[in-house]
Chain A
Amino acid sequence: MNILIEKKEFYEAVYKVARFAERKSTTLPVLSSVLIIAGSEGIKMRATNLETGVDLKLNGKCIHDGVVAISATILQQIAGALTQEGNITIEQKGDIISIVSGTGKSLIRTVPYDDFPLIPFPENSKNRIVMKGILLKNLFTSIASCSSSSTVRPELSSIYISIEGGVLTAVATDSFRLAEKKIPLTNKGTQGKFLIPAKNALDIAQALPDDDVIISFDDHQCAFVATQGIFVSRLTNAVYPDYRQIIPKESIVEAIILRKDFENALKHTTIFSDSFQKVKVSFNPKKNNFSFFAKNTEIGESSETISANISGSALDLSFNHRYLSAFLSLTTSESISLTAAGIGRPLIIKGVGDTSLLYLVSPMNQ
């Protein structure tokens, strides 16, 4: 194999691909490597940890065909140390490859690639949708944090994606709070649903390009196909709870608050929250304001009242402040609306004018 690639192209490709390689060293050595393929389809890089997999195309000149596998960490370090503009050439001689960049030359021992697994693609091509990569990227990175980090319930450490009536709905919950985000699709025909592990979704989101991506899926596997390459992930084999049941249909009070006010007041009150991270919020329709209160026996207590547009009856609820502040990273709306259905019932938070996002947080005991 002998290939010529621009340094920047090489760096970016390695950065994207290496995260898909296995990080644990206990398994097959070839799983912690990146496979570089030069052939009739151009230059490609592949990596997989048997959970997720990537097949990325690179722009470059292919002088001689060939296949090599190189340790992902070594490749990452080499790519990270590249400086200046220019090209690098990668040439294979036996089980050694040489990487020549400008003035430097390094020889690297390759890993036998016979055991490199196949990267599976969903066979049923009926289930496919097209959307902008940037939307998908934002979707995954924003709501993945709402999924559970424990592995006890695999469905809760996954993102639930359902496609119906030309709308893609993504849901993540860790059973304390829930985020639901909707994205309209251009092609309306497809229907289906799947559960992608949140960790895998994050890995893929980091590597997705901004332009159009085709998502195809079957029962066990999903693939994100872009012009630059293909990303696949295993799907979680579980039933997602019927989360719609827990969204309160009725409400007793609603508050419209400026995001800035909410953010500052929460930030200030959080300092005084106790070891349970408890913050009490009050809807005061008479005075038309909304207040925060927190008390910590070690530090002291604090209350913060902000003006708000309240309609309904007075209500006090306590929350883990983390779950309240997490909402702010999901939306950019200038003002937010909080809808409560009563004591012990979850609170709905939405951005005003942003119907795509719904955030549900369950209260703490008073």
Chain B
Amino acid sequence: MILTGSPRNASVVLCFDKGILQSTMDKGNPRELWEYVLTQVELSISPANFNTWFRNSFIVKIGDDGVLYVGVPSQFFKDWYLKKFHILLLKIIRDVSYEFRNIEYLIVKDERRKIVKETKNTRGAIGLPLDEFYINKSDNLNPRYTFDTFVIGSFNNLAYSAAQAALERPGITYNPLFIYGDTGRGKTHLIQAIGNQFKKQYQGRKVFYLTSEKFVVDYTDSVQAGTANRFKDKYRHYDLLIIDDIQFLSKKEMSGEELFHLFNHLHDNNKQIVFSSDRSPVAIPDIAERLKGRLASGMTVDIGEPDSESRMAIVRKKAASHGVMLSNEVIEYVATSMSGSIRELEGMVNSIVCHAQVNGVAPDISEVRQSLRSFTRPQKNISVKNVVDKVASFYGIDEESIYEKTRRREVVRPRQVIMYILREDFSISYPTIGAKLGGRDHTTVIHSCEKIKREVVVDSELSKEIQSIRTLLV
């Protein structure tokens, strides 16, 4: 069978089978009802439309008189829902039950992300947490990664819902499920949780998790040993195959082709496939077009940057899972003091937990500040020249021109950025910065730093640039 247009096929199957999905749903539960509505809406409108309009909406309550109250973020949304989606939504909920008479739209703050369930752990004893590192040999899954420990916020809500939907009807709803996002956003956690949940839900079916790197190594090994045929069969008998970090397959032509055949085999047999990557399928360089198309043919969701509430929830949950209760002050400090990935956040929590276990009490804000100093301000020793070099190449200008007395616009801005970074990140004194950058007056430096500091607040483009320069300098 040819795979093109598979989402369309999936939608036909789903409509045909709607009864099953409906019957498992509790229509009095706003969350489940909305998830069902979303899966239906998604089939009717384009993904861009869906992402824009439905990402932040939810059912506030179901009225006694059969009126459904849907919460939307602003007037823009309310007007557009009334104009474009009202009839569609009404039709979907009427399909569920005739009890629903109407839909009203309310403008509300998205409070869902603040209500994150917290699992209390009363384990006070200290033991070596060896079970965290336990990996099941037969499916390669780490049992530590489950949905219970997964924090859901607005940034990953869509990915989470997609994962749930895929688990509901594996191999049919979203196949393949492709999850992408920057490093440390919880991709691996999510896809392993899918695997673990699948194991629990469908006992007797086989799951396998591997990284694309392992796939490539496996393939080359088998070619070397002359057992390429056995390799082909090795992965084909799984009911759920999870491949992590698929982007490493770029430039590996033969492995890519092998994956292509594997994909076709699994997909044709309605076996669920889950991929993760650090970029969207179309943005993965140097992989065959046909594979690219296959990767994007199911559901593609990205995990964005966690907002501060979610970060706080993550810190709280991580600490709670270690049996340490932290004060809100501490949680807020940890969550906001650093803009790093969730992985780094976890590192910080671990160090606090370690402190708490040694001292026997949860640390207060000043102790935390002390113990996290190494995280919040990494000791960076870097030469001015190095910074100039990096920034100049970032903006694509000649390094020499930074030191010259030129006021050309394309040079002035990078120069100001350099001054700002030297001052903010490396705490170099204003006069020193001036002297190093071609003998400028310290007031010039102050002005530049102030200027950039002011602009960073209002100019998101600039702040993004500075952010990426910072990553270059680490």
Contacts and interface: CB of A to CB of B under 8 A. Distances in A.
Nearest to B311: A152
B76 A271 contact: no
Nearest to A236: B109
Given A234-B74, A234-B76, A271-B446, A145 B461 contact: no
A80 interface: no
A199 B460 CA distance: 10
B174 interface: no
Contact of B78 (A27, A120, A144): A120
Contacts of B358: none
B48 A152 contact: no
Given A117-B80, A299-B429, A221 B74 contact: yes
Interface in A87-119: 115, 117-119
Dominant SS at the B interface? helix
A28 B427 CA distance: 42
A48 B80 CA distance: 13
Contacts of A152: 308-309, 332, 336
Contact of B75 (A120, A150, A151): A120
A238 interface: yes
A184 B13 CA distance: 65
A31 B302 CA distance: 19
B76 A48 contact: yes
A170 to B, nearest CB: 17
Interface residues of B, number: 34
A23 interface: yes
A291 interface: no
B353 to A, nearest CB: 24
Interface residues of A, number: 37
Interface in B60-102: 73-80, 83
Contacts of A298: 429
A267 B443 CA distance: 9
A115 B52 CA distance: 11
Interface string B419-455: 0000000010111000000000011001000000010
B446 A28 contact: no
Nearest to B80: A117
Given A237-B107, A298-B429, A51 B48 contact: no
A117 B107 contact: no
B48 A150 contact: no
B286 interface: no
B225 interface: no
Contacts of A117: 76, 79-80
Contacts of A219: 107
A115 B79 contact: no
Contact of B461 (A23, A48, A53): A23
B23 interface: no
A220 B442 CA distance: 47
A29 interface: yes
Contacts of A220: 74-75, 78, 107
Contact of A150 (B52, B336, B430): B336
A60 to B, nearest CB: 28
Given A23-B461, A150-B336, A152-B336, A53 B49 contact: no
Interface in A189-237: 199, 202, 219-221, 234, 237
Interface of B: 48-49, 51-52, 73-80, 83, 107-109, 302, 307-309, 332, 336, 427, 429-431, 442-443, 446, 454, 457-458, 460-461
The 8 closest A-B pairs by CB, nearest first: A120-B75, A221-B75, A234-B74, A27-B52, A28-B52, A118-B79, A50-B76, A220-B107
Given A151-B308, A152-B308, A220-B75, 12 more contacts: A27-B48, A29-B48, A115-B49, A117-B80, A120-B79, A145-B458, A199-B458, A237-B108, A270-B446, A275-B427, A296-B429, A299-B429
23 contacts: A23-B461, A27-B51, A50-B52, A51-B74, A115-B49, A117-B76, A117-B79, A118-B79, A120-B75, A120-B78, A145-B457, A149-B457, A151-B307, A152-B332, A221-B74, A234-B73, A234-B76, A237-B107, A267-B443, A270-B446, A271-B442, A275-B427, A298-B429
